[in-house]
Structure 1
């Protein structure tokens, strides 16, 4: 579905990352992990065709993404950004309805079926009651859920999500992660492949995801989370001692060590 081959990313003459390879197929969840500034957002922009590769190529359905029309790309990939500042006081449902744009003609207007699909996406995320709310006055977490609903309404087979849980409270974070997992599991019935970035390695364990571990624009490791997210790898990438432990329920969690100069010991 989506493939990057020996990709170099950056802006103009400024190279951010090199030698990046990845594939995402239906049913896959690929989690990008790495410290701030490692190149995750630049990689996303390149995968979406918003930035040209400095070298290498991005293939979407087997064809170079740079050779495809934007509407064609939008029917295959939806995008959830980190944040969104609306230029006008749209209602939340209107923002979600924008996800249907790629499926309309050049001068097409949303139909009743399009509005129903947009509202269903909001209902699936538990925010149907916000349909008529002023999007600009919602909390950061509520706006993030609206953006995820917009991506769902787009009905693209691939979703690219840049820190989709960054503004969410504990309950909504768990809800969104469960929804992401469900999208992938439903791949055999027209579901999604998902690429997401996060600052929390625990999310990869919760999703049972494959992981691309990055540092300074370089691929440090890529593979199943149980194999990639080791104490040694995480400590090297984040520059602190990290312990990967298994809870009594069998779930793996990552625990950073607190520096002794902060504990007073």
Structure 2
């Protein structure tokens, strides 16, 4: 299963937010979207999910135009993991996960034994089966995020879109969620799902060994493997502050922004691509 965008323009009505965007994700891939607030990441997500029409270009899902597919068809192929939230009504964690089965049921269908088994399996796969009958709203932020990932697993979609899945989580929960993101794309562990994930932390893309689409002002500034794209020069140009990328004693690369108040050096911001 592949999700592909070509020469994509995104926006709302007559307002264009981004142009000339291209990406593709298939099973086993992790693609991280990075860029400053307002660069168009959320609008791009909404377009890839079919919630907004493309202003130009094409989005195809499984080789078919996204615009020609029904919401149920899209939901059977792409699952969405939003940022963890507390719902206005009390739901058990199991009930939240069962919501992922909606696309597999008829219009007035009710979850059956097979659906409940699938939901329990998703919870167990993430190591949180003991939370099944807990009040979702009373779980920690990290636990709620894992429940939402379990919902996506129960949806049995080969592609998963994640909107800042580690936002507002503490250090430990961030590490836990990232470990599960890596497992989702691991063919041996989770069927080789394709993952598109937005994040504000370039270190996460490096840790996941992901491909990166680095955005600025609605355009692709750079695209390619994280280690090739996330350099001090590109990050400084995109975020407007001096950034260095250093290698730790274990061989892992980390991004270090300058903490002084000086402006970043003047740099070109023309889009380029790294294969």
Same fold (TM over 0.5): yes
Distance in structure 1 (CA, Å) of the matches to 2:52 and 2:226: 28
Aligned to 2:155: 154
Q: What's the Cα RMSD here?
A: 1.6
The CA deviation at 1:85 is: 4.5
The CA deviation at 1:98 is: 0.4
Aligned residues of 2:164 and 2:198 also touching (Cα < 8 A) = yes
The CA deviation at 1:125 is: 2.4
Distance in structure 1 (CA, Å) of the matches to 2:207 and 2:114: 34
The CA deviation at 1:155 is: 1.1
SS at match of 2:52: coil
The CA deviation at 1:129 is: 2.1
**CA distance change for structure 1 residues 5 and 260 in 2, over 3 Å: closer, same or farther?**
closer
> 2:110 aligned with 1:88, yes or no?
no
SS at match of 2:32: strand
The CA deviation at 1:187 is: 7.2
Aligned to 1:28: 29
Aligned to 1:249: 250
Q: Which moved more, 1:112-121 or 1:36-45?
A: 112-121
Aligned to 1:259: 260
Distance in structure 1 (CA, Å) of the matches to 2:190 and 2:152: 18
TM-score by length of 2: 0.90
| Runs of 4+ residues over 4 Å off in structure 1 | none
Distance in structure 1 (CA, Å) of the matches to 2:208 and 2:53: 30
Aligned residues of 2:183 and 2:190 also touching (Cα < 8 A) = no
Matching of residues 86-125 of structure 1 within 5 Å: 86-125=87-126
Aligned to 2:49: 48
Distance in structure 2 (CA, Å) of the matches to 1:74 and 1:167: 27
Matching of residues 172-191 of structure 1 within 5 Å: 172-186=173-187, 190-191=191-192
Distance in structure 2 (CA, Å) of the matches to 1:216 and 1:16: 8
Distance in structure 1 (CA, Å) of the matches to 2:251 and 2:190: 29
TM-score by length of 1: 0.94
**CA distance change for structure 1 residues 54 and 187 in 2, over 3 Å: closer, same or farther?**
farther
The CA deviation at 1:185 is: 2.0
The CA deviation at 1:74 is: 0.4
> 2:202 aligned with 1:231, yes or no?
no
* Count of matched residue pairs: 261
Deviations 1:26-45 (A, max 9, x none): 11110000011111011000
**CA distance change for structure 1 residues 187 and 213 in 2, over 3 Å: closer, same or farther?**
farther
Deviations 1:98-154 (A, max 9, x none): 001111122222122211221222222232222112222333333222111111111
| Higher fraction of helix | 1
Unaligned regions of 5+ residues in structure 1, if any?
A: none
**CA distance change for structure 1 residues 187 and 36 in 2, over 3 Å: closer, same or farther?**
farther
Aligned to 2:208: 207
Aligned residues of 1:211 and 1:228 also touching (Cα < 8 A) = yes
Deviations 1:42-76 (A, max 9, x none): 10000000000111111001111111011111000
The CA deviation at 1:250 is: 0.6
Distance in structure 1 (CA, Å) of the matches to 2:171 and 2:85: 21
The CA deviation at 1:167 is: 2.9
